[in-house]
């Protein structure tokens, strides 16, 4: 039976310049990121060794770099880039779900946030 454990990072917040509108790309805004990393963590559970799991500090650093180094028009593209980067870097991860939120998006109405969720798996 396949064992699946989960490491979660919740509400990592970054200031970046994503969006379709020129004001969004010029002025920037806050973006919130969640990731769920599914993997068999048996080796780490037994050994208590960071090298045998997914270092969530390194995951956070990768997310930070991806969110702040390039402008994206779409949250979908940003979420996909994060998911692909995690899957490429940590082979122990069987699947990843990435949620990207934009608080108070520029829509004609009152909206707390918009969110895109992307899941990638092996």
**What is the set of active-site residues?**
102
Match 């969530």 to its residue by tokens. 56
Backbone angles phi, psi at 48, to 5 degrees: 55, 40
The residues pairing with 120 across neighbouring beta strands, listed in sequence order, are 96
Q: What is the DSSP string of 45-98?
A: HHH--GGGS--HHHHHHHHHHHHHHS--S-HHHHHHHHHHHHHHH-TTEEEEEE
């Amino acid at each position: 039976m396949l064992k699946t454990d989960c490491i979660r990072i919740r509400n990592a917040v970054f200031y970046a310049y994503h969006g379709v509108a020129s004001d969004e790309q010029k002025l920037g805004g806050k973006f919130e990121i969640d990731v769920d990393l599914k993997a068999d963590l048996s080796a780490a559970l037994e050994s208590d060794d960071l090298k045998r799991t997914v270092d969530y500090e390194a995951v956070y650093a990768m997310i930070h770099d991806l969110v702040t180094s390039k402008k994206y028009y779409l949250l979908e593209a940003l979420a996909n880039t994060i998911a692909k980067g995690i899957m490429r870097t940590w082979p122990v991860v069987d699947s990843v779900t990435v949620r990207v939120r934009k608080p108070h998006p520029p829509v004609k109405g009152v909206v707390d946030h918009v969110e895109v969720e992307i899941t990638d798996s092996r």
